[in-house]
Each structure stands twice: as C-alpha cells, then as structure tokens.
Amino acid sequence: MLWRRRLWLWRLSCWLTHWLSNVFLRHGFFEQLNRGCSALEDMFLYDAIIIDQEFSSQTLKALTIDYSRFSDEYQTSISIQSLVHLSMECPAGRVPSLQNMTSLVTASIRVLEENVVADTRQFLSGLSGVRNLDLNYPGKKLEMDRELQWCPKFSNLTDLTLGQWCLGAKFSTLTIFLQNSPMLEKLTLKLPEHGLSASAIIIGEPKERSFTCEHLQIVEVTCEEDNPLLNCVQDYLVAKGITSVQICIKCPSQIQREEPDFFRYEYR
C-alpha cells in the first residue's frame, strides 16, 4: 500500500497544474502534497471539501480557495511562511486559522454570513502583517464593547479596500479600520451599484473616535453618481480631515477588474 501511495503522489506531482476542483481533501492530504510536490508555488482550490486539519507548505507563494467547505467541527490551520498572495472567496464551515504568514503581501477575502464570528476575528489577526487587503465582511454582528478586539492592528497595511458593510453606526467600523492602519496610503470604498445593501450590525452605542492617517494620499470611492450614500461618505471623510482633492469618485464601468498575476496567467 505504501508504494502505491508514493506512486500516486509522484504521478500527482507530474500532472498537477495548480488547479483542484470538486475534490475531497482528507486528513494528511496536504502533508503528502508537501512531500510529493516540493516545487509547487501556485494552488487554486475550487468547490473543494477540506477536512484536513493542517495545511502547510514550504514553497507555495499564491493560494486561492473559492467556494469551498471546511470542517464544521474544528478549525483547519493554514501555515505557509512562503505565501505572498492569498484569495479566499465564501468559505463555508469554520473559517481556518492563519499561522506564520510572515511573507504575505496581498489578501482578498470574502466571508459568509454563516461563518462563526469568533473564527473570523481570529482569521483577521492572521492577516495583520499584510500590505494590501480587500475585505468583504457583510452582515456580521459586532459588539461595541469588543470593537477593538475583533479588528487587529495592521502595522504594514498601505492599500485597503472595503465595502458598504463598514459604514454602519456612524461609520464606526470604518473608523476602527483606519485607526488600526497607521501606514495606510490608499483607501478604496466599494458602494453598491443599485440601492442599499446590508451594513454590519453594530450592537451597542458606537463611541466617537478620532484617527490620524498621516500617510493617506487618496480615497477612491467606487459607486454610481446618484448613489444616496455618496454624500454621506464624502461628508464623513472631510470631517475627518481628508481633503476633497484626496477623494476620487469612480463609476464601476471605469474600473477594470484587476487580478493577481498568478491568477491572470495560470488559470484562464
């Protein structure tokens, strides 16, 4: 049996082209993958069921996990020191914990309503060293007495993209992110194209908070010109000391979808 497993893994390392779709990844899969595919740098998981408890690699630089399910009983630990780009779209089950992400530069994350809030807070802590973050975190309940605990300090963050979900309760969530991003240079706010969508539900009375983004150069707001939120956003930014010259309004039709190089060239 052992020689058959090694033969299978050797064959896998020969034909694996970074993309695994509609697969069931059992306990020990990533350990075997790490041993058998020692040169693997890019990996794309789509519609996968992941029940392995530990996901580690010494070589991966780019990891994309789209519409896949993790275990509901325990958290999968992802520990990849070499990882530079992470994209995770709508993970079902328990959001994994991130460990040793010391090389991570770019992260694009969208979580689901069903994800455990405590797991998501822990997940965000694993992204605290990232420099470019695109976060979609809709419909979550945030307790105001713990508002500074669920959002870590992003000491290296220079480029941040958020959605309407951060604008609830007098922009309290947005303010917390800005407070915890002292090196921020660019802020992008994506507002819904048609009508209003749900913001994060804030439990308790938000506190009046101030922040100083000394390095902030531009705030890019992506929305239609007639969006009812636009004036509110502009008023908030100006009240916080951001000048009108720093605020750039763009319609969605003007924005060309940008993808990481590894996805653009490898997965089309």
What are the tokens at 57? 């690699």
pLDDT category of residue 159 using cuts at 50, 70 and 90 = very high
Per-residue pLDDT tens digits for 83-128: 999 999 988 889 899 999 999 999 999 987 666 777 878 888 999 9
Contacts of 49 (CB under 8 A, 6+ apart): 23, 24, 25, 68, 69
Whole-number Å distance between alpha carbons of 22 and 49: 8
Taking phi over 0 as left and psi of -120 to 50 as alpha, with beta for the rest, 204 belongs to: left
Q: Which residues of 115-145 are buried (b: 16+ CB within 10 A; e: fewer)?
A: beeebbbbbbebbbbbbbbbbbbbebebeee
Give the per-residue pLDDT at 98.
Answer: 94
Query: What is the reported pLDDT for 148?
Result: 52
pLDDT score, position 105 = 97
Work out the average pLDDT over 179-188.
94
- Residue 253's pLDDT band (cuts 50, 70, 90): low
Reading across the β-sheet that carries 24-25, which strands appear in turn? 24-25, 49-50, 69-70
Q: How far apart are CA 105 and CA 156, in angstroms?
A: 9
Report how far residue 139's alpha carbon sits from residue 198's, in angstroms, rounded to the nearest whole number: 6
Query: How many other C-beta atoms can be found within 10 angstroms of the C-beta atom of residue 151?
Result: 19
The answer to whether the beta carbons of residues 189 and 173 sit under 8 Å apart is no
Q: What is the DSSP letter of 92?
A: B
- Pairing relationship of beta strands 141-143 and 97-99 according to DSSP bridges: unpaired
Please give the average per-residue pLDDT across 37-55, as a whole number: 88
52: CB partners within 8 A, 6+ apart: 25, 26, 27, 28, 29, 30, 76
Mean pLDDT of the chain: 78
* The pair of three-digit structure tokens given for residue 30, joined into one six-digit string: 């990533």
- Tokens representing 16 are 């694996």
What is the reported pLDDT for 44? 92
Number of Cβ within a 10 Å radius of residue 248: 12
**Cα torsion at 238, 166, 148, 89 (round to 10°)?**
-140
Q: Does residue 133 surpass a pLDDT of 90?
A: yes
What's the CA dihedral at 66, 153, 113, 193 to 10 degrees? -80
Specify the pLDDT at position 203. Answer: 39
| φ, ψ for residue 45, nearest 5 deg | -110, 125
The domain limits of the chain are 131-266
